[in-house]
Amino acid sequence: MHNLEYVSIIIPCRNEQHFISSCLDSIIANDYPQDLIEILVVDGMSEDETVAVVKTYIDKYPFISLLENQKSVTPIALNIGIKKAKGTIIIRMDAHARLDCRYISQCVRALNEYEADNVGGNMVTLPQTPSFLGNAIVLSLSHRFGVGNSYFRAHPREPKWVDTVFGGCYRRSVFDSVGYFNEALVRGQDMEFNLRLKKAGGRTLLIPDIVSYYYARSTLWEFCKHNWNNGVWAIIPFLYSDIIPVSVRHLIPLGFAIGLMGSLILSLFWQLGLCLLGGLLGSYLLMGMLASIQIAFREHTPKYLFLMPWIFFCLHINYGIGSLWGCARVLVGSLLTSSTKPGGAQI
């Protein structure tokens, strides 16, 4: 590789003592020259041994630094890292992830070869705890029925221009022209930023050969809670962004939840409501069963045929109900905002 650029890798983290070592080891093992990288771990006031673990790495590797994020919010951590970064290229990394050994070099090469503004690759989801349930959760997050056209999860085979990628490798100049991550968004800041980038004429590229590995939650409670929170934060960004901050796929579970609840209520008073409820549930179950059959055959595990429909339903209904709650919060927030404008009614 010629004309290599200096790369800054930013890792927001909080209470990641069990994952930060794997994350840092994967970066250190990359084939990119270590004298041309810096790793900025931005800690959100961890209450476990995360900081102690990171300090052991700092003692061995002078290109690793530890920064403090007193507000413990991811986009604030990212912006702290960007402002401190020395690189002309900035990679956003997750402490729950690890990188393929060629990740950095391939990202840098793709930025130059395709003249992209942001580059990422396929994210391979792994269970935090290997188990039948943990593997089923991973499969739901890697199937088109589970995640729609989230390409970095669904793994296309050819390079593709997309609306967002996991993590992201950006040119430093992008932040000078588009601005920083939206600090009001506890979640969804990547999607919102990449859509702002797209609106400004920037392009995000997914390269299948660029691979990262992400550890997903492996218990049903954590899975449901995580999807509920994701559903909430698919809607909350509408309060804090001047653009449409999500893609259509993020709103489909909301439509599913509204359809179920609406037809259920109608069925109490109207026969047609029962028909609508049956049609909606029947169609969903049919698609879920077809996806589950495909997974069971592909994995050579018939048991998935019985578990996967329930896992898909937990994914979609918790996300959808979370989005409903997000809508309520947006409505209340909008009313409060309008009430404080000149001429608005005071509450």
345 pLDDT band, cuts 50/70/90, is very low
Please give the average per-residue pLDDT across 264-277, as a whole number: 89
Rounded to 10 degrees, the C-alpha dihedral 109/187/324/319 comes to: 60
pLDDT of residue 42: 98
CA–CA separation, 322 and 337 (whole Å):
22
Q: Which residue(s) pair with 205 in the sheet?
A: 119, 161
Q: What is the mean pLDDT of residues 231-259?
A: 90
Strand positions, DSSP E, the chain: 7-13, 37-43, 64-68, 89-92, 97-99, 118-127, 160-162, 169-171, 204-216
Please give the pLDDT value at position 289. 96
Cα distance from N-terminal residue to C-terminal residue, the chain: 62
Q: Is the per-residue pLDDT at 15 higher than 60?
A: yes
How many C-alpha atoms does 17 have within 13 Å on its Cβ side? Answer: 10
Of the CATH numbers 3.90.550.10, 3.40.50.2300, 3.10.20.310, 3.40.50.1820, which one belongs to the domain with range 7-218?
3.90.550.10
Strand-pair partners of 216:
127
Give the model's pLDDT for residue 344: 35
Tens-digit pLDDT profile for residues 326-338:
999 888 877 766 5
Q: What would the mean pLDDT of 45-55 be, rounded to a whole number?
A: 97
188 Ramachandran zone, left/alpha/beta (phi>0; psi -120 to 50):
left
pLDDT of residue 347: 22
Q: What's this model's pTM, rounded to 2 decimal places?
A: 0.87
Q: Radius of gyration (Cα) for the chain, nearest Å?
A: 22
Are 264 and 216 contacting, i.e. CB atoms less than 8 angstroms apart? no
* Segment 170-215, tens digit of pLDDT: 999 999 999 999 999 998 899 999 999 999 999 999 999 999 999 9
Give me the mean pLDDT over the 219-247 stretch.
Answer: 91
Q: What is the pLDDT of residues 206-224, one digit of tens each?
A: 999 999 999 988 899 999 9
In this predicted structure, the answer to whether residue 88 has a pLDDT above a threshold of 60 is yes
Q: Annotate 182-214 with b (16+ C-beta within 10 A) or e (fewer).
A: bbebbbbbbbbbbbbbbeeebebbbbeebbbbb
The pLDDT assigned to 332 comes to 86
- Banded pLDDT at 154 (limits 50, 70, 90): low
CA distance 151 to 160: 9
CA separation for the pair 64, 54 (Å, rounded)? 8
Tell me, what amino acid is at 113? E
Which helix (H) or strand (E) covers residue 193, if one does?
helix 189-199
Q: What is the mean pLDDT of residues 46-73?
A: 97
Smallest Cα–Cα separation from 319: which of 191, 228, 258, 243?
Answer: 228
- Calculate the alpha carbon distances from 109 to 118, 119, 221, 312, 328 in Å: 12, 10, 41, 37, 45
pLDDT at res. 130 = 87
Q: Kindly report the average pLDDT of the chain as a whole number.
A: 91
Which of 6-10, 139-143, 290-294 has the lowest average pLDDT? Answer: 139-143
More confident residue, 96 or 245: 96
Residue 283: count other Cβ atoms within 10 Å of its Cβ. 10
CATH 3.90.550.10 placement within the chain? 7-218
Burial class (CB in 10 A: 0-12, 13-18, 19+), 86: exposed
